[in-house]
Amino acid sequence: MDEADCPRVRPRRDGDLVRDPRRSIAIGMAMLAGVAALAIAVASDVEAPPILQWLDDAWRRTALGWPGWTRSAGEAFERLGAGVVMVPLRIVVAIWLVVRRRRWDLAAWLLGWILADVLTAVLKPGLARARPTAMDPENPFTSFPSAHAKTAAQVAIGLVLVASSPWRSRRGWYALAAVWIVLMATSRTVVDHHWLSDVVAGSLLGAGAALLAAAATQLVRDGRRSRRDT
């Protein structure tokens, strides 16, 4: 996302999350703009969004035609990406950052978490899109965007940002994060709990929130240090 070759490697400081905060903010905003565009398309006709529903239906037919073991794998990913696993993981990362006294990294981690979850909490009931297959009628959660995909992306990208240095190559870490995000997103369509557009939106939302939070936090840190040094 911001991995242009750096002329020199330097020690990582608390809050060193991206190489170019303004560029990362632009990328994060572009991702959230993609979510907004998908949300507008869904809102235009929540039962059959124009063009989008044709793509969703085509992907659904393809995914449901895959071998049976893919559904078992999808169900395993569903359990792995559930709140009972992801919330404790997020808390463990936060505690680790507290113990390491990395308050700026902690702020970015928490802000990305909050931003991703708040946006999802607004969009789900606001659009109230039905899932591909009927779920428990007592379950208040609707289809757009996918919360599993959102959390997978926010956690994966957030971990890359707080656990590695922007002054070294992150290509391998981003590749692993991308694999995780794609597998989680695909799994939600294989078990027929989400449309393709739901998981694309969730993935963009989680990744965009993590990146935007990190870049904004770093700009605030740099601004404070600049004022302090003048």
CA-CA distance, 57 to 65, in Å (whole number)? 12
Q: Quick one: pLDDT at residue 139?
A: 56
Task: Divide the 230 residues of the chain into consecutive groups of 10 and give the mean pLDDT of each group.
Answer: 54 91 96 97 93 95 94 94 94 97 96 97 93 69 91 97 94 96 96 96 98 96 80
Q: Quick one: pLDDT at residue 185?
A: 97
Secondary structure class of 107 (helix, strand, coil): helix
Upstream peptide bond of 145 is cis (omega within 30 degrees of 0): yes
What are the start-end ranges of the H helices in 18-146? 21-44, 52-64, 68-80, 83-99, 103-127
Q: Quick one: pLDDT at residue 11?
A: 86
